Amino acid sequence: MRAGLASLTAATASLPNAHAALRPKASGETKVVALFGNDEDPCGIGHEIHVRSLFESKKDWRLIFVRANKFFTPELISDADLLITSCNGSADPIDLFTADAGIAESVVQGVPLWTDANVKAVMDNVRNRGMGLLALNNTICAGNRQFVDFLDVKEILPHDFEPLWVRRLNRSHPITQGVGKFCISHDKQYAVLIKSPSTVTLFETTAVHEKRQAVSGWALESGKGRIAGLLPGSTIHAYQAPEYRNIIWRAAHWAMNRDIQPYPEAQNTLYD
């Protein structure tokens, strides 16, 4: 245990500043920072591949993926236009970025994302600077009450993997306008209870085996910024559904208060 903690401390202390290691944001560039973590359930690599393919037509969008929680810093989002998160309150189960992580006889645990400092940075950037936030999947399990309250929801945890119907889509909201009922073949039903009347329900999901229906998509304004919560996506099956890809595309534009261009249909099957 002492050896593992010593290794973690040394590795963390030697980390370069994540923001400083990147080139400065270019004029006219849209900076998108995404964190999917390496939690036990979701496939972070698969999610990254699908999200990159989803936005590949946006040549002026710069997608920066944070592949371990320890590389996230408040400075990284200080000039970001959009933050996409899919990370719960647990520490990364394995630190895959130590010097000897390629071949290992023991496990060095990573660190959690939702520290008080990181939560404050996210909230400040949304409310005071107008950064958009897409809170995906298990973000509602951040374990930080202040942050989950910031999303204006109470989390409902999933039980098992099963088919989900996405239904009762809000036909009047820009994010879900024109999107009809669809099925995700294999996923977990993360869901929420919405707290405020001003927060809008985007859609509900029905868990086929449990026959449980609940809200799994919502949107709200927060200060100068916008937040969209989209909870399907425990597996890559959600990102393979053309309708859900369209919703994420529209939500990203809406969260940044941008005009929503039609989703390029040719991108729907690129990684199916």
pLDDT tens, residue by residue, 177-193:
999 999 999 999 999 99
Cα gap 209→223, rounded to integer Å: 39
Q: Which domains does the chain have, with CATH numbers?
A: 2-267 (3.40.50.880)
Cα gap 114→91, rounded to integer Å: 9
Tokens 């909201």 found at: 173
The pLDDT score that the predictor gives to residue 8 is: 41
- Please identify every stretch of the chain with a pLDDT value under 50, giving residue numbers as ranges: 1-14, 269-272
Cα gap 217→205, rounded to integer Å: 9
Cα gap 10→262, rounded to integer Å: 48
Question: Taking the mean position of all CA atoms in its chain, how far away is CA 184?
Answer: 18
Contact 68, 108 (CB under 8 A): no
pLDDT tens string 243-256: 999 999 999 999 99
The pLDDT score that the predictor gives to residue 242 is: 96
Cα gap 37→78, rounded to integer Å: 20
Contact 190, 86 (CB under 8 A): no
The pLDDT score that the predictor gives to residue 168 is: 98
The pLDDT score that the predictor gives to residue 65 is: 95
Contact 210, 189 (CB under 8 A): yes
